[in-house]
Structure 1
Amino acid sequence: MDFQTEPFTFLILSEYSFGVFFEEKLDLETHKKVIGFHQSIQELKPKWLRDTVVSYNSISFYLKKEFIQTKNDLLAIQNYLKEIWGNINHSEAVSKTKHHSVLVDYRGDDLKFVSAYTKLSIQQIIEFHTKPIYTVAAIGFLPGFPYLLGMDTRLFVPRKSTVPTIINKGSVGIGGYQTGIYPHNSPGGWQIIGHTDFELFSFENPAVLEVGDTLTFVANRV
Protein backbone atom coordinates (compact mmCIF):
# COMPACT_ATOMS: atom_id res chain seq x y z
CA MET A 1 0.00 0.00 0.00
CA ASP A 2 1.32 3.46 -0.96
CA PHE A 3 0.45 6.80 0.55
CA GLN A 4 0.80 10.15 -1.26
CA THR A 5 1.70 13.21 0.77
CA GLU A 6 3.56 16.47 0.24
CA PRO A 7 6.36 16.88 -0.60
CA PHE A 8 7.15 13.19 -0.95
CA THR A 9 5.65 9.83 -1.80
CA PHE A 10 5.47 7.28 0.99
CA LEU A 11 6.01 3.83 -0.54
CA ILE A 12 5.88 0.45 1.21
CA LEU A 13 8.93 -1.63 0.21
CA SER A 14 8.35 -4.71 2.37
CA GLU A 15 6.63 -5.78 5.56
CA TYR A 16 9.07 -3.82 7.70
CA SER A 17 10.48 -1.18 5.37
CA PHE A 18 9.27 1.80 3.40
CA GLY A 19 10.70 4.56 1.24
CA VAL A 20 10.21 8.30 1.13
CA PHE A 21 10.64 9.49 -2.47
CA PHE A 22 11.00 13.16 -3.37
CA GLU A 23 10.92 14.71 -6.85
CA GLU A 24 12.00 12.52 -9.75
CA LYS A 25 14.75 14.88 -10.91
CA LEU A 26 18.24 14.17 -9.58
CA ASP A 27 19.55 17.63 -8.80
CA LEU A 28 21.41 19.26 -5.93
CA GLU A 29 18.43 21.18 -4.52
CA THR A 30 16.34 18.01 -4.24
CA HIS A 31 19.26 16.20 -2.63
CA LYS A 32 19.71 18.98 -0.04
CA LYS A 33 16.10 18.41 1.02
CA VAL A 34 16.83 14.70 1.40
CA ILE A 35 19.93 15.41 3.51
CA GLY A 36 18.14 17.85 5.79
CA PHE A 37 15.28 15.40 6.29
CA HIS A 38 17.63 12.51 7.04
CA GLN A 39 19.75 14.49 9.51
CA SER A 40 16.68 15.59 11.45
CA ILE A 41 15.44 12.01 11.72
CA GLN A 42 18.85 10.75 12.84
CA GLU A 43 19.00 13.36 15.60
CA LEU A 44 15.55 12.41 16.89
CA LYS A 45 16.35 8.66 16.97
CA PRO A 46 12.74 7.39 16.71
CA LYS A 47 12.28 4.17 18.63
CA TRP A 48 10.77 2.34 15.62
CA LEU A 49 13.76 2.98 13.35
CA ARG A 50 16.36 0.24 12.77
CA ASP A 51 18.33 1.69 9.84
CA THR A 52 18.19 4.10 6.88
CA VAL A 53 19.69 4.19 3.39
CA VAL A 54 19.96 7.57 1.64
CA SER A 55 20.09 8.06 -2.12
CA TYR A 56 19.80 10.94 -4.61
CA ASN A 57 16.12 11.69 -4.06
CA SER A 58 14.92 9.10 -1.54
CA ILE A 59 15.41 7.58 1.88
CA SER A 60 14.68 3.95 2.69
CA PHE A 61 13.63 3.20 6.27
CA TYR A 62 14.04 -0.19 7.93
CA LEU A 63 11.78 -0.71 10.90
CA LYS A 64 11.84 -2.65 14.15
CA LYS A 65 9.09 -5.17 13.65
CA GLU A 66 7.79 -4.95 17.21
CA PHE A 67 6.56 -1.41 16.45
CA ILE A 68 4.76 -2.27 13.20
CA GLN A 69 1.68 -4.37 13.79
CA THR A 70 -1.08 -2.65 11.81
CA LYS A 71 -1.70 -0.16 9.02
CA ASN A 72 -2.34 2.47 11.69
CA ASP A 73 1.24 2.12 12.90
CA LEU A 74 2.47 3.03 9.42
CA LEU A 75 0.05 5.94 9.18
CA ALA A 76 1.34 7.21 12.53
CA ILE A 77 4.89 7.13 11.16
CA GLN A 78 3.75 8.99 8.05
CA ASN A 79 2.27 11.76 10.19
CA TYR A 80 5.43 11.85 12.31
CA LEU A 81 7.56 12.33 9.18
CA LYS A 82 5.30 15.12 7.92
CA GLU A 83 5.76 16.89 11.24
CA ILE A 84 9.55 16.54 11.04
CA TRP A 85 9.53 17.92 7.50
CA GLY A 86 7.67 21.03 8.61
CA ASN A 87 10.37 21.87 11.15
CA ILE A 88 13.51 21.40 9.00
CA ASN A 89 16.04 24.18 8.49
CA HIS A 90 17.72 22.96 5.28
CA SER A 91 20.64 25.39 5.32
CA GLU A 92 21.50 24.47 8.91
CA ALA A 93 21.32 20.76 8.10
CA VAL A 94 23.66 20.96 5.12
CA SER A 95 26.19 23.00 7.10
CA LYS A 96 26.77 19.97 9.34
CA THR A 97 28.39 18.02 6.52
CA LYS A 98 32.16 17.78 5.87
CA HIS A 99 34.27 18.89 2.92
CA HIS A 100 37.08 16.79 1.42
CA SER A 101 39.85 17.60 -1.06
CA VAL A 102 40.97 14.65 -3.18
CA LEU A 103 44.32 14.78 -4.95
CA VAL A 104 44.17 13.08 -8.38
CA ASP A 105 46.84 12.02 -10.85
CA TYR A 106 45.02 12.54 -14.17
CA ARG A 107 46.68 9.83 -16.24
CA GLY A 108 43.87 7.27 -16.39
CA ASP A 109 43.74 4.50 -18.96
CA ASP A 110 40.58 5.91 -20.58
CA LEU A 111 41.54 9.58 -20.62
CA LYS A 112 42.27 9.57 -24.37
CA PHE A 113 38.91 7.90 -25.08
CA VAL A 114 37.11 10.52 -22.97
CA SER A 115 38.95 13.25 -24.88
CA ALA A 116 37.97 11.76 -28.25
CA TYR A 117 34.34 11.19 -27.23
CA THR A 118 33.79 14.63 -25.67
CA LYS A 119 35.97 16.47 -28.21
CA LEU A 120 37.73 18.14 -25.29
CA SER A 121 41.46 18.38 -24.76
CA ILE A 122 42.93 16.51 -21.82
CA GLN A 123 43.67 19.85 -20.19
CA GLN A 124 40.00 20.86 -20.57
CA ILE A 125 38.85 17.54 -19.09
CA ILE A 126 41.04 18.12 -16.05
CA GLU A 127 39.83 21.71 -15.74
CA PHE A 128 36.14 20.77 -16.00
CA HIS A 129 36.53 17.82 -13.61
CA THR A 130 38.35 19.78 -10.90
CA LYS A 131 36.22 22.94 -11.01
CA PRO A 132 32.92 21.77 -9.38
CA ILE A 133 32.21 21.27 -5.70
CA TYR A 134 30.64 17.81 -5.74
CA THR A 135 28.06 16.49 -3.30
CA VAL A 136 28.11 12.87 -2.13
CA ALA A 137 24.63 11.81 -3.19
CA ALA A 138 24.85 8.11 -2.34
CA ILE A 139 27.24 5.43 -1.13
CA GLY A 140 26.88 2.07 -2.82
CA PHE A 141 27.92 -0.54 -5.37
CA LEU A 142 30.98 -1.17 -3.15
CA PRO A 143 31.53 -0.21 0.52
CA GLY A 144 32.64 3.42 0.41
CA PHE A 145 31.97 4.02 -3.31
CA PRO A 146 30.69 7.62 -3.65
CA TYR A 147 28.21 8.69 -6.31
CA LEU A 148 28.87 12.40 -6.81
CA LEU A 149 26.46 15.11 -7.97
CA GLY A 150 27.74 18.20 -9.74
CA MET A 151 29.85 17.04 -12.68
CA ASP A 152 30.03 19.32 -15.72
CA THR A 153 27.66 17.84 -18.34
CA ARG A 154 30.30 18.38 -21.04
CA LEU A 155 32.17 15.43 -19.51
CA PHE A 156 29.39 12.93 -20.24
CA VAL A 157 30.71 9.62 -21.58
CA PRO A 158 28.94 6.26 -21.79
CA ARG A 159 29.90 3.37 -19.57
CA LYS A 160 32.07 0.67 -21.11
CA SER A 161 30.24 -1.92 -23.19
CA THR A 162 32.53 -4.63 -21.81
CA VAL A 163 33.19 -4.48 -18.07
CA PRO A 164 36.85 -5.07 -17.09
CA THR A 165 37.44 -7.72 -14.45
CA ILE A 166 39.59 -5.42 -12.32
CA ILE A 167 39.52 -1.66 -11.88
CA ASN A 168 42.29 -0.65 -9.50
CA LYS A 169 41.59 0.79 -6.07
CA GLY A 170 41.67 4.59 -6.16
CA SER A 171 40.63 4.84 -9.81
CA VAL A 172 38.64 7.99 -10.58
CA GLY A 173 36.00 7.35 -13.22
CA ILE A 174 33.15 8.86 -15.19
CA GLY A 175 29.96 6.95 -16.01
CA GLY A 176 27.26 8.89 -17.80
CA TYR A 177 26.68 12.16 -15.96
CA GLN A 178 28.30 10.88 -12.76
CA THR A 179 31.81 10.63 -11.41
CA GLY A 180 33.17 8.55 -8.54
CA ILE A 181 36.14 6.76 -6.97
CA TYR A 182 36.69 3.02 -6.70
CA PRO A 183 37.48 2.22 -3.05
CA HIS A 184 38.69 -1.34 -3.79
CA ASN A 185 39.94 -3.44 -6.68
CA SER A 186 36.77 -4.59 -8.41
CA PRO A 187 35.01 -5.03 -11.74
CA GLY A 188 33.67 -1.76 -13.10
CA GLY A 189 32.39 -0.15 -16.25
CA TRP A 190 33.22 3.54 -15.78
CA GLN A 191 35.79 5.37 -17.90
CA ILE A 192 38.95 5.85 -15.82
CA ILE A 193 40.52 9.29 -16.05
CA GLY A 194 42.84 9.28 -13.05
CA HIS A 195 43.95 7.80 -9.75
CA THR A 196 43.98 8.94 -6.12
CA ASP A 197 45.55 7.64 -2.92
CA PHE A 198 42.63 9.03 -0.91
CA GLU A 199 41.38 6.23 1.38
CA LEU A 200 37.62 5.82 1.08
CA PHE A 201 37.05 2.81 3.31
CA SER A 202 38.60 0.80 6.11
CA PHE A 203 37.13 -1.37 8.85
CA GLU A 204 38.43 1.14 11.39
CA ASN A 205 36.84 4.10 9.55
CA PRO A 206 34.04 2.89 7.23
CA ALA A 207 32.42 6.32 6.85
CA VAL A 208 35.20 8.53 5.46
CA LEU A 209 32.66 10.05 3.08
CA GLU A 210 29.04 10.37 4.16
CA VAL A 211 25.98 11.27 2.13
CA GLY A 212 25.74 15.06 2.02
CA ASP A 213 29.48 15.68 2.30
CA THR A 214 31.12 17.83 -0.37
CA LEU A 215 34.27 17.07 -2.33
CA THR A 216 36.64 18.76 -4.74
CA PHE A 217 39.20 17.07 -6.97
CA VAL A 218 42.66 18.66 -7.12
CA ALA A 219 45.01 17.88 -10.02
CA ASN A 220 48.25 16.41 -8.74
CA ARG A 221 49.89 16.08 -12.14
CA VAL A 222 48.82 17.22 -15.59
Structure 2
Amino acid sequence: MNKILKENINIMPLGDSALMIQLGSTINPELQQVVSSLTAHLESTPFPGFIECVPAFASITVYYNPVAVIKGKGSSQRESPYKIVHSYISNIIHENRNAEKFTRRRVDIPVVYGGEYGPDLEFVSSHHSLSVQEVVSIHSSNDYLVYMIGFAPGFPYLGGMSEEIAVPRKSSPRLRIPAGSVGIAGQQTGVYPISTPGGWQIIGRTPLPLFNPAKSHPSYLQAGDIVTFTPIDEKEFLELKEALH
Protein backbone atom coordinates (compact mmCIF):
# COMPACT_ATOMS: atom_id res chain seq x y z
CA MET A 1 0.00 0.00 0.00
CA ASN A 2 1.70 3.20 -1.10
CA LYS A 3 2.20 6.31 1.03
CA ILE A 4 -0.38 8.40 -0.81
CA LEU A 5 -3.10 5.81 -0.22
CA LYS A 6 -2.15 5.46 3.45
CA GLU A 7 -2.48 9.20 3.97
CA ASN A 8 -5.98 9.19 2.46
CA ILE A 9 -7.34 6.40 4.64
CA ASN A 10 -10.11 7.25 7.08
CA ILE A 11 -11.72 4.75 9.48
CA MET A 12 -15.13 5.63 10.91
CA PRO A 13 -17.82 3.85 12.95
CA LEU A 14 -21.08 2.61 11.45
CA GLY A 15 -23.42 2.00 14.36
CA ASP A 16 -22.20 -0.22 17.20
CA SER A 17 -21.21 -3.30 15.21
CA ALA A 18 -19.50 -2.10 12.04
CA LEU A 19 -16.94 0.35 10.74
CA MET A 20 -16.02 1.71 7.32
CA ILE A 21 -12.49 1.95 5.97
CA GLN A 22 -12.55 4.82 3.45
CA LEU A 23 -9.53 4.30 1.21
CA GLY A 24 -10.02 7.16 -1.22
CA SER A 25 -12.53 9.07 -3.31
CA THR A 26 -11.78 7.95 -6.85
CA ILE A 27 -12.56 4.88 -8.93
CA ASN A 28 -9.44 3.31 -10.42
CA PRO A 29 -7.74 -0.11 -10.66
CA GLU A 30 -4.92 0.76 -8.24
CA LEU A 31 -7.36 1.67 -5.47
CA GLN A 32 -9.46 -1.41 -6.20
CA GLN A 33 -6.30 -3.49 -5.83
CA VAL A 34 -5.83 -2.07 -2.33
CA VAL A 35 -9.50 -2.73 -1.48
CA SER A 36 -9.18 -6.36 -2.63
CA SER A 37 -5.85 -6.95 -0.88
CA LEU A 38 -7.03 -5.57 2.44
CA THR A 39 -10.33 -7.47 2.19
CA ALA A 40 -8.48 -10.71 1.46
CA HIS A 41 -6.16 -10.14 4.44
CA LEU A 42 -9.02 -9.46 6.86
CA GLU A 43 -10.90 -12.55 5.67
CA SER A 44 -7.85 -14.84 5.84
CA THR A 45 -6.67 -13.62 9.27
CA PRO A 46 -9.87 -12.47 11.02
CA PHE A 47 -9.77 -10.81 14.42
CA PRO A 48 -11.95 -12.20 17.26
CA GLY A 49 -15.55 -11.19 16.58
CA PHE A 50 -15.06 -10.62 12.85
CA ILE A 51 -18.22 -11.36 10.82
CA GLU A 52 -17.60 -10.19 7.26
CA CYS A 53 -16.16 -7.55 4.92
CA VAL A 54 -18.18 -5.78 2.24
CA PRO A 55 -15.87 -4.13 -0.33
CA ALA A 56 -17.07 -1.21 -2.48
CA PHE A 57 -15.43 1.07 -5.08
CA ALA A 58 -13.16 2.89 -2.61
CA SER A 59 -14.12 1.54 0.81
CA ILE A 60 -14.60 -1.59 2.92
CA THR A 61 -17.31 -2.05 5.52
CA VAL A 62 -16.29 -4.43 8.30
CA TYR A 63 -18.99 -6.07 10.43
CA TYR A 64 -18.20 -7.52 13.84
CA ASN A 65 -19.78 -8.95 16.99
CA PRO A 66 -19.07 -6.40 19.78
CA VAL A 67 -19.33 -8.98 22.59
CA ALA A 68 -16.92 -11.37 20.84
CA VAL A 69 -14.50 -8.50 20.17
CA ILE A 70 -14.40 -7.61 23.89
CA LYS A 71 -13.96 -11.26 24.92
CA GLY A 72 -11.26 -11.80 22.33
CA LYS A 73 -9.29 -8.81 23.55
CA GLY A 74 -8.75 -10.48 26.92
CA SER A 75 -7.82 -7.21 28.58
CA SER A 76 -9.00 -5.48 31.71
CA GLN A 77 -8.83 -2.12 29.91
CA ARG A 78 -12.24 -0.73 29.09
CA GLU A 79 -11.81 -0.14 25.40
CA SER A 80 -14.87 -0.03 23.18
CA PRO A 81 -15.26 -2.75 20.51
CA TYR A 82 -14.90 -0.06 17.86
CA LYS A 83 -11.57 1.15 19.26
CA ILE A 84 -10.25 -2.42 19.44
CA VAL A 85 -11.16 -3.16 15.82
CA HIS A 86 -9.98 0.28 14.69
CA SER A 87 -6.59 -0.35 16.30
CA TYR A 88 -6.29 -3.81 14.72
CA ILE A 89 -7.04 -2.51 11.23
CA SER A 90 -4.80 0.55 11.63
CA ASN A 91 -1.88 -1.70 12.55
CA ILE A 92 -2.45 -3.87 9.48
CA ILE A 93 -2.49 -0.81 7.22
CA HIS A 94 0.52 0.97 8.70
CA GLU A 95 2.64 -2.17 9.02
CA ASN A 96 1.88 -3.00 5.39
CA ARG A 97 0.84 -6.53 6.36
CA ASN A 98 -1.57 -6.68 3.42
CA ALA A 99 1.05 -5.55 0.91
CA GLU A 100 1.10 -8.83 -0.98
CA LYS A 101 -0.39 -8.48 -4.47
CA PHE A 102 -3.97 -9.69 -4.74
CA THR A 103 -4.26 -12.35 -7.44
CA ARG A 104 -7.15 -11.55 -9.72
CA ARG A 105 -9.34 -14.35 -11.04
CA ARG A 106 -10.21 -14.30 -14.75
CA VAL A 107 -13.78 -15.21 -15.70
CA ASP A 108 -15.19 -15.61 -19.20
CA ILE A 109 -18.91 -14.94 -19.65
CA PRO A 110 -20.64 -16.17 -22.85
CA VAL A 111 -23.26 -13.73 -24.17
CA VAL A 112 -25.87 -13.87 -26.91
CA TYR A 113 -26.24 -10.28 -28.15
CA GLY A 114 -29.29 -8.52 -29.58
CA GLY A 115 -32.77 -9.68 -30.50
CA GLU A 116 -35.05 -10.61 -27.62
CA TYR A 117 -31.96 -11.11 -25.45
CA GLY A 118 -30.60 -7.59 -26.05
CA PRO A 119 -33.50 -5.28 -26.88
CA ASP A 120 -31.42 -2.10 -26.50
CA LEU A 121 -28.54 -3.13 -28.74
CA GLU A 122 -30.05 -1.26 -31.69
CA PHE A 123 -30.35 1.89 -29.55
CA VAL A 124 -26.67 1.71 -28.58
CA SER A 125 -25.62 1.27 -32.20
CA SER A 126 -27.76 4.18 -33.46
CA HIS A 127 -26.71 6.40 -30.54
CA HIS A 128 -23.08 6.13 -31.69
CA SER A 129 -23.67 5.67 -35.44
CA LEU A 130 -22.09 2.22 -35.26
CA SER A 131 -23.24 -1.07 -36.69
CA VAL A 132 -24.65 -3.67 -34.30
CA GLN A 133 -21.64 -5.88 -34.98
CA GLU A 134 -19.27 -3.01 -34.14
CA VAL A 135 -20.97 -2.52 -30.78
CA VAL A 136 -20.71 -6.25 -30.06
CA SER A 137 -17.07 -6.28 -31.10
CA ILE A 138 -16.19 -3.30 -28.89
CA HIS A 139 -18.09 -4.66 -25.89
CA SER A 140 -16.56 -8.13 -26.15
CA SER A 141 -12.98 -7.02 -26.84
CA ASN A 142 -12.20 -5.48 -23.42
CA ASP A 143 -11.17 -6.86 -20.06
CA TYR A 144 -13.48 -5.63 -17.30
CA LEU A 145 -12.65 -5.21 -13.63
CA VAL A 146 -15.31 -6.07 -11.04
CA TYR A 147 -15.17 -3.07 -8.73
CA MET A 148 -17.95 -4.14 -6.41
CA ILE A 149 -21.04 -6.32 -5.97
CA GLY A 150 -24.20 -4.39 -5.16
CA PHE A 151 -27.65 -3.06 -6.12
CA ALA A 152 -29.05 -6.60 -6.33
CA PRO A 153 -27.61 -9.90 -5.01
CA GLY A 154 -24.57 -10.79 -7.10
CA PHE A 155 -24.79 -7.75 -9.40
CA PRO A 156 -21.26 -6.84 -10.60
CA TYR A 157 -20.28 -3.25 -11.38
CA LEU A 158 -17.71 -3.61 -14.16
CA GLY A 159 -15.24 -0.90 -15.12
CA GLY A 160 -13.16 -0.66 -18.27
CA MET A 161 -15.81 -0.25 -20.96
CA SER A 162 -14.94 1.84 -24.00
CA GLU A 163 -16.42 5.35 -24.26
CA GLU A 164 -17.29 4.44 -27.86
CA ILE A 165 -20.40 2.58 -26.67
CA ALA A 166 -21.23 4.46 -23.45
CA VAL A 167 -24.93 5.37 -23.23
CA PRO A 168 -27.19 6.90 -20.54
CA ARG A 169 -29.58 4.87 -18.44
CA LYS A 170 -33.13 4.50 -19.68
CA SER A 171 -35.40 7.43 -18.75
CA SER A 172 -38.02 4.94 -17.48
CA PRO A 173 -36.68 1.74 -15.87
CA ARG A 174 -38.13 -1.59 -16.92
CA LEU A 175 -40.24 -3.34 -14.31
CA ARG A 176 -38.59 -6.69 -15.03
CA ILE A 177 -35.21 -7.53 -16.52
CA PRO A 178 -34.50 -11.27 -16.97
CA ALA A 179 -31.68 -12.87 -15.00
CA GLY A 180 -28.45 -12.98 -16.98
CA SER A 181 -29.15 -9.74 -18.88
CA VAL A 182 -26.04 -7.75 -19.81
CA GLY A 183 -26.51 -4.00 -19.59
CA ILE A 184 -24.77 -0.67 -20.11
CA ALA A 185 -25.16 2.53 -18.07
CA GLY A 186 -22.75 5.38 -18.66
CA GLN A 187 -19.25 3.93 -18.95
CA GLN A 188 -20.06 0.86 -16.90
CA THR A 189 -21.40 -2.51 -17.90
CA GLY A 190 -22.94 -5.17 -15.67
CA VAL A 191 -24.96 -8.37 -15.52
CA TYR A 192 -28.30 -8.83 -13.77
CA PRO A 193 -27.93 -12.08 -11.76
CA ILE A 194 -31.61 -12.20 -10.81
CA SER A 195 -34.82 -10.96 -12.39
CA THR A 196 -35.33 -7.41 -11.13
CA PRO A 197 -36.44 -3.94 -12.22
CA GLY A 198 -33.65 -1.85 -13.74
CA GLY A 199 -32.78 1.05 -15.96
CA TRP A 200 -29.65 -0.12 -17.77
CA GLN A 201 -29.61 -0.51 -21.56
CA ILE A 202 -29.81 -4.27 -22.21
CA ILE A 203 -27.62 -5.52 -25.05
CA GLY A 204 -27.45 -9.28 -24.43
CA ARG A 205 -27.86 -12.18 -22.03
CA THR A 206 -25.68 -14.90 -20.55
CA PRO A 207 -26.85 -18.43 -19.68
CA LEU A 208 -24.48 -18.54 -16.69
CA PRO A 209 -26.22 -18.50 -13.28
CA LEU A 210 -24.46 -15.66 -11.48
CA PHE A 211 -26.26 -15.96 -8.14
CA ASN A 212 -27.13 -19.09 -6.16
CA PRO A 213 -28.28 -18.56 -2.54
CA ALA A 214 -27.78 -22.27 -1.80
CA LYS A 215 -24.00 -21.98 -2.20
CA SER A 216 -21.56 -20.89 0.51
CA HIS A 217 -20.46 -18.10 -1.84
CA PRO A 218 -23.75 -17.19 -3.58
CA SER A 219 -22.26 -14.64 -5.98
CA TYR A 220 -20.41 -16.19 -8.93
CA LEU A 221 -18.40 -13.00 -9.45
CA GLN A 222 -16.40 -11.24 -6.74
CA ALA A 223 -14.81 -7.81 -6.44
CA GLY A 224 -11.37 -7.93 -8.08
CA ASP A 225 -12.29 -10.45 -10.79
CA ILE A 226 -11.36 -9.74 -14.40
CA VAL A 227 -14.27 -10.45 -16.74
CA THR A 228 -14.33 -10.99 -20.50
CA PHE A 229 -17.44 -11.43 -22.64
CA THR A 230 -17.53 -13.98 -25.47
CA PRO A 231 -20.25 -13.70 -28.15
CA ILE A 232 -22.30 -16.85 -28.76
CA ASP A 233 -25.34 -17.54 -30.92
CA GLU A 234 -28.82 -18.42 -29.72
CA LYS A 235 -28.32 -22.16 -30.24
CA GLU A 236 -25.22 -22.12 -28.01
CA PHE A 237 -27.09 -20.01 -25.47
CA LEU A 238 -29.97 -22.49 -25.21
CA GLU A 239 -27.63 -25.48 -25.02
CA LEU A 240 -25.54 -23.89 -22.26
CA LYS A 241 -28.61 -22.79 -20.35
CA GLU A 242 -30.02 -26.33 -20.39
CA ALA A 243 -26.68 -27.79 -19.29
CA LEU A 244 -26.13 -25.28 -16.49
CA HIS A 245 -29.59 -25.08 -14.94
Normalised by the length of structure 2, the TM-score is 0.81
Paired position in structure 1 for 2:109: 102
Q: CA RMSD in A?
A: 2.1
Match 1:79 to one of 78, 87, 111: 87
- Distance in 2, matches of 1:20 and 1:70, equals 23
- Distance in 2, matches of 1:195 and 1:21, equals 34
Alignment pair present for 1:27 and 2:28: yes
Match 2:194 to one of 160, 184, 188: 184
Unaligned runs of 5+ in 2: 1-5, 71-76, 235-245
SS in 1 for 2:172: coil
Once the two structures are TM-superposed, the CA of residue 74 in structure 1 deviates from its matched residue by 3.0
Matched ranges for 1:141-220 at <5 A: 141-205=151-215, 206-220=218-232
SS in 2 for 1:187: strand
RCO higher in 1 or 2 (8 Å CA, sep ≥ 6)?
1
Deviation per CA, 1:101-129: give whole Å up to 9, x if none. Answer: 11111111001111122333222211221
- Distance in 2, matches of 1:186 and 1:61, equals 27
| More displaced stretch, 117-126 vs 142-151 | 117-126
Question: Taking structure 1 as reference, are residues 74 and 167 closer, same or farther at Cα in structure 2, changes over 3 Å only?
Answer: same
- Distance in 2, matches of 1:70 and 1:147, equals 41
Paired position in structure 2 for 1:130: 140
Paired position in structure 2 for 1:48: 49
Question: Taking structure 1 as reference, are residues 154 and 11 closer, same or farther at Cα in structure 2, changes over 3 Å only?
Answer: farther
Once the two structures are TM-superposed, the CA of residue 72 in structure 1 deviates from its matched residue by 5.3
Q: Which amino acid aligns with 1:138?
A: M
Normalised by the length of structure 1, the TM-score is 0.88
- Identity %, equivalent residues: 33
Once the two structures are TM-superposed, the CA of residue 177 in structure 1 deviates from its matched residue by 1.6
SS in 2 for 1:30: helix
Paired position in structure 1 for 2:74: none
Q: Which amino acid aligns with 2:110?
A: L
Deviation per CA, 1:171-219: give whole Å up to 9, x if none. Answer: 1000112111111221110000111101101233313212212210011
Question: Taking structure 1 as reference, are residues 115 and 14 closer, same or farther at Cα in structure 2, changes over 3 Å only?
Answer: same
Count residues with an aligned counterpart: 215
